[in-house]
Every structure is written in structure tokens, then in C-alpha cells.
Amino acid sequence: MFITNKINLRIPGPTPIPPSVQAAMSQPMIGHRSNEASTLIKSVSERLKPFFGTTENPLLFTGSGTSVLEAAVVNTIQPGEEVLVVVTGVFGDRFAKILTEYGAVVRRLDVEWGKTPDPEDLTSRLQQHPNLKAVFFTQCETSTGVLNPINILSPLVKKHSDALVIVDAVSSLGAVPFEMDAWNVDITVAGSQKAFMIPAGLAFAAVSPKAWSIIEKNNNPKFYLDLKRYRENLSKGTTPFTPAVSLIFGLDAALELLEAEGMTEVFHRHEGMKNLTRAAISALSLPLMTSEEDASPTVTSVYGADGWDSEILRSDLKKMGIVIAGGQQHLKGKIFRIGHMGYCDPFDILPVLSAIEISLKKQNVELRLGTAVQAAEEVLSQYV
């Protein structure tokens, strides 16, 4: 009944690739030290700036998102130095693990999964540990679907300490406003396979002058992830090692799409998808994991109805050609997550809602078919 290789991919990364981006990536290879490559590298770095909200040129890495998380750590923190990690889920925990691996003294502010930190808790943690070298945040915590308010949290760190602010914006940059300079963020890292609509394999890091002054003094052993090499090379329109040129062709095409739509309109679209997805889930009386205030425009997490396993829902959807994400770690089987970032618009989400209704009905959950779709359409009609 379904075309099984026609996949509606609705996980929070990797995300679907737009046709123009797919086509751009199949261009014939060029020399990575050629003038064409330099022009391209300079151009994409320049055009990424507005998404980071900075005057600094974002550095380009070949690697998955975690490569730049690790780069942010190894270039700034030396063994024995004290740091604070605000952990709101799996990805905050990943920062803590990397820091532990590199010998940092890791203080944690653990926040209940599905919530954002209370600014007062952050303040008291900062006062409790006056020697922090850096504070680590995740903008969108992909495992729960919260969007941490970096605009509030980062200035708070600066008010109470001298620590660097380092932000993982992998699953939000390109879909959600980010103002690195205005919010006083020192290092912002992002990746390619989420809102930037290209496959995994490129990662970005923007670095403030304050962070550079720390990085210059850092003497941790490092080679591939040494940020100074990337800065020096970028000034000449190149990268220290062979870049994933095909992915950069893709990034160029993806930025063209984002520029044509307009950054504000891109953010507005993601906000709208959050609203219609939440309205649809609420209409089904399934509990949303995040409050309206804390919810990310890029991914929506939902608790299963009492007594059923969200993995059954996922496998039903898979049969209908729709791929959504489950829960990670202790949330496995308990939640499902709908990714709505990148190359995604409302008419990509309606079939997901329809399929969820069909699966729930099959599992004898009380509902009227069409409930979720109708609620989504009602929200959508306000935008047309």
C-alpha cells in the first residue's frame, strides 16, 4: 500500500536535502586549493555570519557536529580547570563527557529533562564556583525539544563571572534567532545536517576575541582540532586539511535558499511549524514534553499515552513511509520526537499527524480520525 523507499524523514537531523542542494553536491570535483575553492569557502563563511549573529567569520570543519564540540573544549580548557555544564538532556551531557575526558573539573547544573534552567539556579551555581573558566550550554536540546534561552543565560554568566560562554547550537542555528555578539557568547558551534539542510560532515565554529585570547595561551596537545590553524587558513580562503568540497557546494546552494526566503521568514516558518504541531498533539490529548515557553521551533517531543510504547507508533509510521525519532536513554519507548527543521514546511507535517492518528486508532486509543490534522489546519489557516 505504501512506496517504502519514498521516505518522509522527520527526525531532528539528518534532515531532508532540497533538490537544488542535492544537485549542487553532484558537481564535478574541483581542486581544494584552487581559486574557485577559496572563493567558495570565503563566501559561505561570510554568509553564515548573520545566522550566528556575529562579525567573526565562522570556521569550517570537516567532521560531524561533535567534532566542534570537542574542538571548543580542547582549545579552551586545560586539565584541572573548573567548568560548569548546564545539562538539559543528552547533548548537555555529551559536553560534560568530553570535558571529563580532557581532565576538566566538571560542575553540573542538571535540569529536569523537558525543562530549561531557572536563571536563579544558574546564578547560585555561578556564585558557588567563582573560578569557572567556561560555562557550556545547548541552545536546542534535541533529546527533549527545549530551546534554552541563551539570550538570558549568557548575559547572566557575564554578570557573575569571567567565564567563557560556549554554546552548542547544532540543532537550532539556521532555524532560530541567534545573536552571538549581542548575547556575549564566546564560542558557538553548529553542524550541517540539521537546519542547514545538507548531509552530515560539515561543522562550524564562531569564536569571540575573548575566546581567542584564551585559545592562544592554551597548550593542550591537539592537531586536527586546533582552532588557530582554521583561523589562519580561513583568512586565505582555505582550510588546514582537505575540506568536504561537495558538502560546501551543498552549503552554498542551501544558503541561497535561505537567503531567497529571508532569514526572518525562515525563523517565522519554524515558529509556525512548532505551533501547528503542538496544537495537533494537544488536540489528541497526548502530553507534550515541553511548555509553550520552553519549546524549540525545530523539534517537538511527545509523551506516549499511558501504557503504550512509542516504539510501536514509530514502527507503524515506518510502514507508512514516515520516519520520526524515539526517546534517547531513559526516555526510550516513553516519548517520540517529530523533527520540523530545515527543508520542511507545514505540508510535510500533516501526513505525519495523519499517520499518528491511524497508528493510535489501531492501538485502540480513543480518538476521532482527523482530530490532529484538523487542529493543525486551523493553525495553518491563520498563516495563509
Ligand X SMILES: *Cc1c(COP(=O)(O)O)cnc(C)c1O
Count other Cβ atoms within 10 Å, centred on residue 3.
7
Q: Is 369 left (phi over 0), alpha (psi -120 to 50) or beta?
A: beta
Least distance (Å) between residue 28 CB and ligand X: 27
Between CA 98 and CA 230 the distance in angstroms is 21
Count other Cβ atoms within 10 Å, centred on residue 38.
14
Among 54, 57, 142, 188, binds ligand X (CB under 6 A): 142
Residues 235 and 37 sit within 8 Å (Cβ to Cβ): no
Name the segment binding ligand X (CB under 6 A); options: 118-126, 165-173, 289-297, 316-324.
165-173
Please spell the DSSP secondary structure of 149-163, one letter per residue. Answer: -HHHHHHHHHHH---
Name the segment binding ligand X (CB under 6 A); options: 1-9, 151-159, 164-172, 244-252.
164-172
Backbone angles phi, psi at 109, to 5 degrees: -110, 100
Among 114, 191, 326, 327, binds ligand X (CB under 6 A): 191
Among 144, 171, 239, 301, binds ligand X (CB under 6 A): 171
Question: In angstroms, what is the C-alpha Rg of the chain?
Answer: 21
Shorter beta-carbon distance to ligand X: residue 45 or 171: 171
Residues 6 or more apart whose CB falls under 8 angstroms from that of 23 comprise: 253
Least distance (Å) between residue 202 CB and ligand X: 10
Residues 138 and 174 sit within 8 Å (Cβ to Cβ): no
How many of the chain's residues bind ligand X (CB under 6 A)?
Answer: 12
Residue nearest to ligand X (CB): 65
Least distance (Å) between residue 382 CB and ligand X: 29
- Residue 138 interacting with ligand X (CB under 6 A): yes
Between CA 100 and CA 339 the distance in angstroms is 30
The b-or-e profile of 134-155 (16+ CB within 10 A means b, else e) is: bbbbbbbbbbbbbbbbbeebbb
Least distance (Å) between residue 231 CB and ligand X: 22
The answer on whether 33 is annotated among ligand-binding residues is: no
Among 51, 91, 136, 178, binds ligand X (CB under 6 A): 91
Shorter beta-carbon distance to ligand X: residue 70 or 357: 70
Considering only residues 23 to 82 of the shown chain, the ones binding ligand X according to CB under 6 A are 64-66
Between CA 330 and CA 328 the distance in angstroms is 6
Least distance (Å) between residue 378 CB and ligand X: 30
Among 9, 10, 13, 72, binds ligand X (CB under 6 A): 13
Among 200, 257, 305, 358, binds ligand X (CB under 6 A): 200
Shorter beta-carbon distance to ligand X: residue 2 or 241: 241
**Annotated binding-site members:** 337
Annotated binding site for substrate: 337
Residues near ligand X (CB under 6 A):
13, 64-66, 91, 138, 142, 168, 170-171, 191, 200
